Amino acid sequence: MFPNFLPTAVEQLTEPTSIALARSIQTTAIATPLTNQAVTTTFVKQGCGGTPILLIHGFDSSVLEFRRLLPLLSEDNETWAVDLLGFGFTDRLSGIAYSPTAIKTHLYYFWKSLINQPVILVGASMGGATAIDFTLAYPEAVKKLVLIDSAGLAGGSPLSKFMFSPLDYLATRFLSNMKVRDRVSRIGYKNQTLASIDALCCGALHLQMPSWNQALISFTKSGGYSAFRFTAISKIVQQTLILWGDSDKILGTKDAIRFKRAIPHSTLTWIQDCGHLPHLEQPQITAQHILDFCGQPIRLLA
């Protein structure tokens, strides 16, 4: 049985990892200073023991992004994934100005309410920018940081120039087109066979949530994540693991080296034969690197 708060299209999932993760999605009411109303927040928690791992998804995505990685990590560690404010299946309440600041605030209160101990914070793509922002604001909450093909060195969103009425709704309508999303998905992978119908469903399921387009417009109009200055990134004191697909066609590969130079206690590891999505394209290798970074012994993950 799938949770009843998910769109009915969840029944179209076909891959076992997608189905299993969708069935494990939970909700919790998170009180924040952003609004008088608690935000019904969707998340997944699996495993126990070790330092908790918290996974942060990318732009216009959801916890389903971690359908292949999370089960591997949770064999050794308590592992969480959360839908950021304005994204995934988390409620999009009216009256909130969706922005990086709001996302950071909501994420902190989620962490404080449910985890409340330092975590291994893992951010993929835009989630990497979120993770950097969170780490700089709340260093006490982050034991170690993992960046997977991370945004954060190039600011803004290509959609921002279209975000005025009526082009704002036309822009989100364009982004919701399945052919468009399929093309974007294919750019993300080096192995094109992974851009399957199941992958398309995972990447688009949250579009059917109420107020998806309004929240996306609000976030894009906020400017999204500005490029972090090197002086800001250099203040990250946590040990940082930078994982990067060697064939990333979305962000390229130069930013991996720039992050390595900017973050004092960082290690750069290239994921071979991989595009922008190592956690989906090479999940076993990605999990092994993260577990080693967590202090877990390396073993072959099936």
Please provide the average confidence, as pLDDT, over all residues in the chain: 91
Q: Which residues pair with 41 in a beta bridge?
A: 28
- The radius of gyration of the chain from alpha carbons, rounded to an integer in Å, stands at 18
pLDDT of 265-302, one tens digit each? 999 999 999 999 999 999 999 999 999 999 854 444 44
Asked if residue 140 has pLDDT above 70, the reply is yes
* Residue 302 included in any domain: no
> Domain containing 77: what range?
8-294
* Residue 299 included in any domain: no
Among 35-49, 81-95, 159-173, the least confident range: 159-173
d(CA 129, CA 152): 5
For helices 167-175 and 212-221, angle between their N-to-C axes, nearest 10 degrees:
110
pLDDT number for residue 156: 57
Q: What domain count does the chain have?
A: 1
pLDDT number for residue 78: 97
* Residue 3 included in any domain: no
Using alpha carbons, select from 28, 66, 4, 36 the residue that is nearest to residue 202: 66
| Token couple for 284 | 């076993």
* CATH number of the domain that residue 175 is part of: 3.40.50.1820
* Residue 189 included in any domain: yes
Contact 82, 54 (CB under 8 A): yes
* Residue 2 included in any domain: no
* Residue 301 included in any domain: no
* Residue 69 included in any domain: yes
Write down the pTM of the prediction.
0.93
pLDDT of 31-64, one tens digit each? 999 999 999 999 999 999 999 999 999 999 999 9
pLDDT of 234-249, one tens digit each? 999 999 999 999 999 9
d(CA 239, CA 53): 14
DSSP 92-126: --TT---SHHHHHHHHHHHHHHHT-S-EEEEEETH
* Residue 1 included in any domain: no
